[in-house]
Structure 1
Amino acid sequence: MQVEIGTDDILVDARLLADLLRLEPTAVHSLLRTKQITSFCERGIGEHVGQYRLTFFYGNRRARLNIDSAGRVTRRSSIDFGQAALPRQLHRAGE
């Protein structure tokens, strides 16, 4: 299981998220609990109904997962700005 879509939530495998954010998988849960990793979810409309885009932030990194209605990852990406701050516009939906 990499991504599982439930009735009220979406579960992402910690190993997948760790790989995208360049973290140890064992660190993911504690970073989520302490809100050092934040996220938002966009649900597709129109021709994209049933699809989701999940965006995660950690420090100066952003990771994205596009998933279909079965929870299969259709696209994945990550951006690491190194020492530079993550541009504010990358914290918005659709960007």
Structure 2
Amino acid sequence: MTQVERDGSDFVVSAPLLVQAFKVTEDGIRQAIRDCSLTSICEAGVDADARRWRLTFRHAGRACRFTVDEAGTILSTSRFPVRARSSATPD
């Protein structure tokens, strides 16, 4: 598997890429996915960014964003801190 592959309308990101991004073990990535502490969102580009996607992963107060083309080729990568999401429910 390459680092990011297209699977129909979805993308599959390799565990080693996330290991590198978040500096955890592959088992740590798997556990974070299972316990939902690693989340992701995929956004499709429009207009000048058509045929590009932003894949953003959040875990432990950090985010990693990959901009990819339709073949899954990584065009850019960024990492940045994010606020932890609150698990509290409104009254």
User: Deviation per CA, 1:12-40, whole angstroms, max 9, x where unpaired?
Assistant: 01111111111112321221121010111
Residue identity opposite 1:9 in structure 2: D
TM-score by length of 2: 0.81
Question: For residues 38 and 27 of structure 2, what CA distance do their matches in structure 1 show?
Answer: 13
Residue identity opposite 2:42 in structure 1: C
Question: Tell me, which stretches of 5 or more residues in structure 1 are unaligned?
Answer: 89-95
Report the 3-state secondary structure (helix = DSSP H, G, I; strand = E; otherwise coil) of the residue aligned with 2:43.
strand
Question: For residues 87 and 14 of structure 1, what CA distance do their matches in structure 2 show?
Answer: 22
User: Deviation per CA, 1:45-88, whole angstroms, max 9, x where unpaired?
Assistant: 112111100111111111110101111111111124xxxx7277
2:60–2:84: 8 Å Cα contact kept in structure 1?
Answer: no
- Per the alignment, do residues 32 and 69 of structure 1 end up closer, same or farther by CA in structure 2, a change over 3 Å counting? same
1:62–1:78: 8 Å Cα contact kept in structure 2?
Answer: yes
Question: Tell me, which stretches of 5 or more residues in structure 2 are unaligned?
Answer: 86-91
TM-score by length of 1: 0.78
Question: For residues 80 and 48 of structure 2, what CA distance do their matches in structure 1 show?
Answer: 27
Larger radius of gyration: 2
Percentage identity across paired residues of the two chains:
30
